[in-house]
Amino acid sequence: MSLDCATSWSERSKLPAALFLLGCTCGSALAEQTDDAVFFQHNSQHVFNSVFGLPAPASRVVQNIEWQFSLEHSNQFAGGSAQDETLEIDGESSLFNIRHKQRLSECWQAEVNVPLIAHDGGIFDRAIDDFHQFFGTPDANRDATDFDRLTFQYSDANGETHNIDTPQSGIGDVQLTVQRALGCFATADSTEAESIARLGIKLPTGDPDELRGSGEVDLFADWQSGIRTLRNRWYGAVSIGALYLGEAEDFPDQKRAAVYGSLGTQFVINYQWRLIAQLDAHSAFYNSALRELRDPAINLAVGFRYLAGKSYSLELSISEDIAVDTTPDIVARLALSYRPSLVSR
């Protein structure tokens, strides 16, 4: 289990069947750039899954350019043993993402995602344990271990493959993507919510010894449906894709391919406020006897988007693991998006 609460960025901070889910798909609609998009660009994964190139859901077309700065923070606590494998995840991770989105033409958009990652013992263990004790909910024997320690450890039949017990920080694996609006009839300022096809690559810029990357190139391709709406209040969309994993020497038990998908819905309260619920899932990345690594990961996020004028929007979301211990138990994400005014062409 793991819990994520937003914190400052500093040198100490860090299924197939499940993909085919029902959503609200009643009537076509238009989307105001990313404001009426139904997905958060979050990617909540535990530390041994996050080294691979699973992308966040694709964003909708922007009129010109967009910068997004987001912080995800997780308190991670999970582990077990099976056959010759042992896993222990106890610590906190902060992920600060810088995303730049650039419209290339009426139908094409490119994106660069640069993650900064920190792993640390954290400060939230006691508060989380007190919460579990107060409400009488299971805590996976969290109170039987020392609070605020850092242990990210995995070993298999060949011996220990990873063991992090001191704070680590640095750049993660950079992602580059290009996407096209399918059936595109857009004009230069169109925001029509077409379906999207996307291709992407994850570069080996992060250090695998510090669990900031896999050390190999990963490739992915996905499709996102057009946005659908009901009475101009409810919006819905679905996304499905496939991920090719480069053969990483540091993660010998990995699979070479995985599938993933997301289901999102948004309720428009008024012009400025939107409520969003999002379900994300992916198949296992490892050939493992441990359920934390073997089982499909399923995660639910809920939150809001606030439109602060034409150029800024703010997002806050909280997510938790639906399939227990396959993702962090609770993750907090805060994101600020900035879109400069459209330049005349």
Tens digit of each residue's pLDDT (9 = 90 or more) over 32-86: 445 568 999 988 889 999 999 999 999 888 888 999 999 999 888 888 888 889 9
- The percentage of residues in the chain with a pLDDT greater than 70, rounded to a whole number, is 78
Locate 51 and state its tokens. Answer: 């080294």
Residue 342 falls inside a structural domain = no
Taking the C-alpha atoms of residue 93 and residue 160, their distance in angstroms, rounded to an integer, is 21
Residue 140 falls inside a structural domain = yes
Residue 344 falls inside a structural domain = no
Phi, psi of 138 (to 5 degrees): -60, 140
The answer to whether the beta carbons of residues 319 and 75 sit under 8 Å apart is no
Taking the C-alpha atoms of residue 68 and residue 314, their distance in angstroms, rounded to an integer, is 10
pLDDT per residue as tens digits for the range 237-295? 999 999 999 999 888 889 999 999 999 999 999 989 999 999 999 999 999 999 999 99
Higher pLDDT among residues 325 and 172, named by residue: 172
Residue 58 falls inside a structural domain = yes
Question: Residue 334 is which amino acid?
Answer: L
Contacts of 135 (CB under 8 A, 6+ apart): none
Higher pLDDT among residues 113 and 184, named by residue: 113
CATH number of 319's domain = 2.40.160.40
Residue 167 falls inside a structural domain = yes
Residue 265 falls inside a structural domain = yes
Question: Nearest to residue 4, comparing CAs of 37, 50, 35, 39?
Answer: 50
Residue 314 falls inside a structural domain = yes
> Structural domain tally of the chain?
1
Give just the sign of the alpha carbon dihedral 129, 133, 137, 140. positive
The answer to whether the beta carbons of residues 259 and 265 sit under 8 Å apart is no
Question: What average pLDDT score do residues 131-151 get?
Answer: 59
Residue 345 falls inside a structural domain = no
Taking the C-alpha atoms of residue 330 and residue 166, their distance in angstroms, rounded to an integer, is 23
**β-strand partners of 317:** 303, 333
Q: Which domain holds residue 295?
A: 2-337
Q: What is the 3-state secondary structure (H, E, C) of 114-140?
A: EEEEEEECCCCHHHHHHHHHHHCCCCC
End-to-end CA distance of the chain: 51
Contacts of 159 (CB under 8 A, 6+ apart): none
